[in-house]
Amino acid sequence: MGPLEQLGALTAIAFDKTGTLTEAKPQLTGVTALGKLSEHEVLEIAIAVEKLSDHPLAAAIVKGGLERLKQKDIPSAKNLQAVTGHGVKATIGSKKIVIGNRSLFKKLSDEINAQVEKLENEGNTTMLIEQDGEVIGMIALMDVPRKEAKQALTELKDLGIKRMIMLTGDNHQVAQAVAKQIGITDAMGGLLPEDKVKAIKDLIKKEKQVAMIGDGVNDAPAMAKSTVGIAMGAAGSDVALETADIALMADRLDNLPFAIGLSRKSRRVIKQNLVISLGMVAVLIPLTILGISGIGPAVIGHEGSTLVVVFNGLRLLVYRKS
């Protein structure tokens, strides 16, 4: 009952991006060759490495890349090594391959940085590909917002949620682009799991009551530190579901305004019932002691107030979003 009551007192909500505000179905939108190799060869290398990874972006690269190449003879990669929050490393033959975001690479030319920024400002997530220390290409992917996201955020604002913050491991430009599309008030990009925890702690200092909603393993620590942890149930990881106080089992973001609205309605009904029950006791005891009312009418009055409280509570069964 505690999390349900706290849900109605929220003033700020922090959202994970991928899988919560977006569909978590990124699509390959572009391939650029930056060295001597062709786009075809760059894509082959990316597919070979990402085949070894289970990350959603890796699956999108493999699926979209194979559709573009229309071939099955892709070179084999091995020795995959994940770099948390940044990308992956592997080998193809004797060549060392690195695929990841800009933060994984120490030195990039102004031209490459300009191309990356242009794509990211349009809402793309970019992955650079390096072979034996030389950047040979770039891949762009885009994850579209959930259809219900914009309307759900509008309803949350109408309910009095002052701040809605996006916390994501994607770079800040991508976070800002998605935020503008759906109406997020603040966007924070390039965050590792420990950065999300720190962001939640800082928000709690300012807003007191803060929820964190996410679906992945990386979101669980932040959910544990929030006032109320909320998991996107159907699509959420086991760790996220176990950590969360509340799970949206229908896996639809528009259930969140409903849950908060129901919580606030429940709080109002509880207060009304307390006033009714305590008010009746406060009236009946003096009347009975002073002899103004007999025990019979007092019992009837008390039981009547109990019925009123019960029927008032039953109104929650027919609650609907306004």
Residues known to be catalytic: 16
Which residues, listed in sequence order, are joined to residue 95 by a DSSP beta bridge? 92
Close Cβ partners of 96 (under 8 Å, ≥ 6 residues apart) = 89, 131, 132, 133
Sign of CA dihedral 47, 49, 51, 53: negative
What is the Cα–Cα distance from 34 to 136, expressed in whole angstroms?
5
Complete DSSP assignment for 189-236: -S--HHHHHHHHHHHHHHHS-EEEEE-SGGGHHHHHHSSEEEEETTT-
Q: Which two tokens stand for residue 138?
A: 């770039």
Cα–Cα distances (Å) from 99 to 34, 142, 143, in that order, read: 14, 17, 19
Nearest to 255 by CA among 272, 239, 237, 235: 235
